[in-house]
Amino acid sequence: MNVHDLDAATLSEQLAAGETTSVDITQASLDRIDAVDGAVHAFLHVDAEGALAAAADVDARRAAGENLATLAGVPVAIKDVLATVGQPTTCGSRMLQGWVPPYDATVVARLRAAGLPILGKTNMDEFAMGSSTEHSAYGPTRNPWDTGRIPGGSGGGSAAAVAAFEAPLAIGTDTGGSIRQPGAMTGTVGVKPTYGGVSRYGLVAMASSLDQAGPVTRSVLDAALLHEVIAGHDPRDSTSLTAPVPPVVEAARRADVAGLRIGIVTELGGEGFEPEVRRRFDEAVELLSGAGAEVVEISCPSFVHGIAAYYLVMPSEVSSNLAKFDAMRYGLRVEPDGVPHPSAEQVMAASRDAGFGDEVKRRIILGTYALSSGYYDAYYGSAQKVRTLIARDFAAAFEQVDVLVSPTAPTTAWPLGDKLDDPLAMYLADVATIPANLAGIPGLSLPAGLADSLPVGFQVLAPALADERLYTVGAALEQLLEERWGGPFAAQAPDLQEVAR
Ligand code: GLN
């Protein structure tokens, strides 16, 4: 087995046992990036020098007998929406091309403090708006399972980097599904923690009441290990929770669902869900019930309005958050053509026209409209009421069951370009992931098998602050499925070395 094939938990054991070094592991990831990223385009920026220096530092500290964090020495890739000192942070946009932040996001600072070398920054839909990574200003990322297809989005770069074995670990962000839906498309594990569980300081805001960073990995235990590193209170984020980090690692190791009550959400699995996706989901549920879980079906009637409410709340916050890219304070600055003494407004208009892509503009316009006087109550106000109804549906459901489950996405990965001209079709890809963001609860996606040789995702949802339940169920299902497959899901992935040649 190649070093780059190993999961983070195994690498960390080998490091602790002195069987390998962080420099060797990090070099293996960098070599793999060299070999396959031309075909995948998961990375916008690779920091070989910085990653190797961090690796050498952690190796030296280990050799000196220092007590290190579990994941110390295991490299990680970071979605290009999190601020990183010394590395560009573009958010997949021309607006921030070449911007190198003067500070680290808290998530990044915690990774560095725990000794994880940072390989580089991963591709994404512009400002995290999209479900395919085709809205990146720097070209799309390709799905390692079929490079003619999308890897999901907006965090397609992080998901593809992990699926293509370019990185054992990555960080994503999830506003309406951008960790979980790419997880489903690429056969990776992705977790959106409870809102406020992971600091948003230094995460370039898309929709502040929905955004949450989380782990992207190839195993449930790896996700728990990474979750533990990045979670916990941060005084720099006013929405950061003070509650202790849920016992996620312990839960992933326990992996026992006997007696656990699992609810299948009626509204997330019917019409619009591909039959093969539904079949993999049903088979997974059967495995869980065979392992002693009690399975019931539960209706959450307000979920049918989830996408509509999201596409009012999210663009409203987008229009306000992206107002700061005004060519005056920072970001791209373009002088309008043929205007000798342009006004501030003219420079702003020219810069925003050149700096933002179509999808971002669409959402700014939609949000500005929804918030405008006379329409505010009808649109934004109504959407907020629907948001409350969705939260109440979850609360009622969690009185009857411990976790809810659904397919993560209605389809498998579609061919590049397929939904680019039809924004509404693209928005439907997130029908199953959006309710969790609107309610602030945690969600996990893990691979449930293949449909026509493409990965299918299985989603687990838990009450706020009960993130550990995601890991109990996820790890139990992963074990049962691996027994059936005779090994980890990623072992079924096509050989990218062939593709890259
Ligand atoms: N695909 C969704 C959207 O386009 C979710 C994006 C996200 O979670 N960042 O808004």
CB 463 within 8 A of CB 167: no
Catalytic, 419? Answer no
Q: Which two tokens stand for residue 103?
A: 């500070």
Catalytic pick among 22, 29, 131, 154: 154
- Which residues have a Cβ under 8 Å from the Cβ of 54 and sit 6 or more positions away? 22, 26, 112, 115, 116, 117, 118
User: What strands, in cross-sheet order, belong to the sheet with 189-192?
Assistant: 43-46, 118-122, 76-79, 169-173, 213-217, 189-192, 443-451, 454-461, 403-407, 261-265, 294-298
Ligand 1 atom nearest the C-alpha of 178 is 8
- With the most atoms of ligand 1 within 8 angstroms of its CB, the residue from 79, 126, 178 to mutate is 178
Q: pLDDT band at 499, cuts 50/70/90? A: low
Tell me: the pLDDT tens digits for 337-365? 999 999 999 999 999 999 999 999 999 99
Kindly state the percentage of the chain with pLDDT values over 70.
99
Instruction: Over range 488-494, report the average pLDDT.
Output: 92
- With the most atoms of ligand 1 within 8 angstroms of its CB, the residue from 158, 175, 366 to mutate is 175
Q: Which of 137, 172, 176 is nearest to 157 (CA)?
A: 172
422 pLDDT higher than 90: yes
- Euclidean distance between CA atoms 424 and 390, whole angstroms: 21
The pLDDT assigned to 498 comes to 57
Asked whether the bond before 238 is cis by omega within 30 degrees of 0, the reply is no
Instruction: Over range 321-334, report the average pLDDT.
Output: 91
- CA-closest residue to ligand 1 atom 5: 176
Q: How many CB atoms lie within 10 A of CB 432?
A: 30
Q: pLDDT band at 495, cuts 50/70/90? A: confident
The reported pTM is 0.98
Largest CA distance in the chain: 75
Instruction: Over range 268-295, report the average pLDDT.
Output: 97
Residue 171, strand partner residues: 78, 215
92 pLDDT higher than 70: yes
Q: What do you get for the CA distance between the two ends of the chain, in Å? A: 20
496 pLDDT higher than 90: no
Catalytic, 192? Answer no
The pLDDT assigned to 367 comes to 97
374 pLDDT higher than 60: yes
1 pLDDT higher than 90: no
User: Which residues have C-beta atoms less than 6 Å from ligand 1?
Assistant: 128-131, 153-154, 174-178, 206, 314, 430
Catalytic, 154? Answer yes
CB 296 within 8 A of CB 404: no
Residue 297, strand partner residues: 264
Could you tell me the CA-to-CA distances from 395 to 18, 302, 436 in Å, in that order? 48, 12, 12
Tell me: the pLDDT tens digits for 157-182? 999 999 999 999 999 999 999 999 99
The pLDDT assigned to 501 comes to 45
Q: What is the dihedral of CA 333, 338, 341, 345, to 10 degrees?
A: -50
Q: Which of 121, 124, 62 is nearest to 86 (CA)?
A: 121
- Euclidean distance between CA atoms 136 and 418, whole angstroms: 16
The pLDDT assigned to 3 comes to 87
500 pLDDT higher than 80: no
Q: pLDDT band at 373, cuts 50/70/90? A: confident
CA of 433 to the centre of ligand 1 (A): 9
Please report where in the chains the tokens 């879980």 appear, as a residue: 293
Residue type, 399: E
Q: Which two tokens stand for residue 236?
A: 């720099």
Rg (CA), the chain: 22
Q: Which two tokens stand for residue 390?
A: 């969705």
- Euclidean distance between CA atoms 53 and 61, whole angstroms: 12
The pLDDT assigned to 156 comes to 98
Q: pLDDT band at 4, cuts 50/70/90? A: confident
Q: What is the dihedral of CA 266, 270, 271, 277, to 10 degrees?
A: 150
Residue 79 DSSP class: E
Rounded to the nearest 10 degrees, the angle between the axes of helix 275-290 and helix 467-485 is 100
Map residue 363 onto helix, strand or coil: helix
CA of 130 to the centre of ligand 1 (A): 5
